[in-house]
Amino acid sequence: MAKKFFIKTYGCQMNVHDSEYMAALLKGMGYIPTTSKEEADIILLNTCTVRKKPEQKAYSFLGRLKYQKRHRPLIIGVGGCLAQQQGELLLKRMPHIDFVFGTHQIYRLPEIISKLNKKGKVCETNFSYQLEPPKGVIPTFNKFRAYITIMQGCNNFCTYCIVPYVRGREVSRRSESILEEAKRLLDMGVKEIILLGQNVNSYGKDRREEISFAELIRRVGNLPKLRRLRFLTSHPKDLTLDLIKTFKEVGTLCEQIHLPVQCGSNRILKKMNRRYSREDYLKKIEMLRKVCPEIAITTDIIVGFPGETEKDFKQTISLLQEVSFDDIFAFKYSDRPPAKAVGFKEKIGEEIKAERLAAVHEVQAPITKAKNREKVGQRLEVLLDDYSKRGEMGLSGRTRCNRVVNVRAEASLLGHLVEVEIDEALSHSLRGRIIKVLD
Ligand code: SF4
């Protein structure tokens, strides 16, 4: 009987995509996926340390596995940022873990697992930058929407962020290799590609001979068979006019951008080492909307950064009102050693952070709702790429502006682009009727 694997993922889209690779590699070793950890022969945990919560969740998940390990043969491996940061310490702290593999070791997973028999416990956390995925390994969680990691790491050292320490410095893949991977995915029937990186719009800056990110967008975006293109995540300081113009020039590039602002106070932005001001950010928003009036803009907000006064916080609130984002992801600041802000004085109390987080949501919720309501009555292109989580609806997909839409539809329409008339706006999704099939 084939052995089974279960992967639990915490954190960002980069981690989700890394888990897709882990799954593809395990399948290559003859394992089959299971949705039940109780019946898995191998359990992998792909961890995140960007915030305190996912880290705590990872520890508690690992703690619960101890019991299972006592009662049956089970291999437990931990990857991702926590694995990179803790390394051997993790094996010492939780002896029921069999192996730890860092953020640069994912493609070596089969080799690491095979070492277990010979060496017992294994810890591999070297920074080695194997950027090119192994040939023939194609992650296929979703057959119609695929991610391509175009670069690893980050050079920005925002003072609250641990990423440069656990993912290393920026290293871009070769554009030819990205284009080849994109063509392979399109030949397999993928219709939408999302280019991924911690800071995608600084793509190519570490390679003199490489093209810019805007040029990469043009080349990938003009590939025959591609219907949609997106990218994630952008740093406001690296969002050039050339890149902004691609929203107009490249027909496949969807009208959507995630542009983390973090806060609205120049004083705090400086302490965060974000290297743009509130005014710079607003200017970029203005340029984006001028070039592409229908663009949907989302952002990240951190409340309670050390030293954030009531006056600073009010500037974040006024920025939310001024920009009118389509949606936001807001978090309370937490210390992430060894990030620089850990050493900053004037830490904000948990109660104040919670109040500020609630205030941010209170301001944004009606804006998001109103933006969703604007869609009612409109006819929008939707790529039906999954079964709906709302059972009665059938299928779900995303608009070009990245909103989730549920429709009543037969499974045979899975993977098709359809035109949908929006009937109803909920807080985080839309519902509609299919008007016609577009492909
Ligand atoms: S840009 Fe800043 S927040 Fe984003 S990954 Fe790099 S250091 Fe972290």
Report CA torsion sign: 418, 423, 426, 431. negative
Distance 312 CA to ligand 1 centre (A): 21
User: Is there a contact between 353 and 387 (Cβ–Cβ < 8 Å)?
Assistant: no
Is the peptide bond prior to 338 cis by the omega test (within 30 degrees of 0)? yes
Question: Residue 35: how many CB atoms within 10 A of its CB?
Answer: 8
* Radius of gyration in angstroms for the set of CA atoms belonging to the chain, rounded to a whole number: 22
pLDDT of 45 higher than 90: yes
Mean pLDDT, residues 111-139 taken together: 81
Strand order, beta sheet including 296-303: 256-258, 296-303, 327-332
Amino acid at 22: M
Atom of ligand 1 at shortest distance to CA of 154?
6
**Lowest mean pLDDT segment, chosen from 102-106, 212-216, 233-237, 268-272:** 102-106
The predicted structure's pLDDT at residue 140? 65
Task: Kindly report, residue by residue over 346-393, the tens digit of the pLDDT.
Answer: 999 999 999 999 999 999 999 999 999 999 999 999 999 999 887 677
165 lines ligand 1 (CB under 6 A): no
87 lines ligand 1 (CB under 6 A): no
pLDDT of 129 higher than 70: no
152 lines ligand 1 (CB under 6 A): no
Report CA torsion sign: 224, 230, 233, 236. positive
User: Is there a contact between 91 and 97 (Cβ–Cβ < 8 Å)?
Assistant: yes
Q: Which residue has a Cα nearest atom 2 of ligand 1? A: 158
Q: H helices within 309-423, ranges in order?
A: 310-323, 350-373
Instruction: For residue 423, give every residue at least 6 positions away whose Cβ sits within 8 Å of its Cβ, in sequence order, or none.
Output: 376, 431, 432, 433
The predicted structure's pLDDT at residue 416? 96
328 lines ligand 1 (CB under 6 A): no
Is residue 136 exposed (0-12), middle (13-18) or buried (19+ Cβ within 10 Å)? exposed
User: Is there a contact between 21 and 133 (Cβ–Cβ < 8 Å)?
Assistant: yes
Q: What is the token pair recorded at 419?
A: 């035109």
Flag whether the pTM goes above 0.75. Answer: yes
The predicted structure's pLDDT at residue 54? 85
pLDDT above 70 coverage of the chain, percent: 99
Mean pLDDT, residues 327-335 taken together: 96
134 lines ligand 1 (CB under 6 A): no
pLDDT of 215 higher than 70: yes
Is the peptide bond prior to 233 cis by the omega test (within 30 degrees of 0)? yes
pLDDT of 200 higher than 90: yes
Residues of the chain with CATH 3.40.50.12160: 4-124
Cα distance between residue 100 and residue 72, in whole Å? 20
CATH number of 379-437: 2.40.50.140
pLDDT of 205 higher than 90: yes
47 lines ligand 1 (CB under 6 A): no
Smallest CA-to-CA distance from 229 within 245, 263, 252, 199 is with: 252
Is residue 165 exposed (0-12), middle (13-18) or buried (19+ Cβ within 10 Å)? middle
Q: Scan for tokens 């803009």, then name that residue.
A: 297
Residues of the chain with CATH 2.40.50.140: 379-437
161 lines ligand 1 (CB under 6 A): yes
Structure-model confidence comparison of residues 417 and 68, the more confident one: 417
- The SS3 of residue 103 is coil
Q: Which residue has a Cα nearest atom 8 of ligand 1? A: 161
Task: Kindly report, residue by residue over 240-290, the tens digit of the pLDDT.
Answer: 999 999 999 999 999 999 999 999 999 999 999 999 999 999 999 999 999
The predicted structure's pLDDT at residue 240? 96
Task: Bin 327: left if φ > 0, else alpha if -120 < ψ < 50, else beta.
Answer: beta
Distance 158 CA to ligand 1 centre (A): 6
CATH topology of domain 4-124: Rossmann fold (3.40.50)
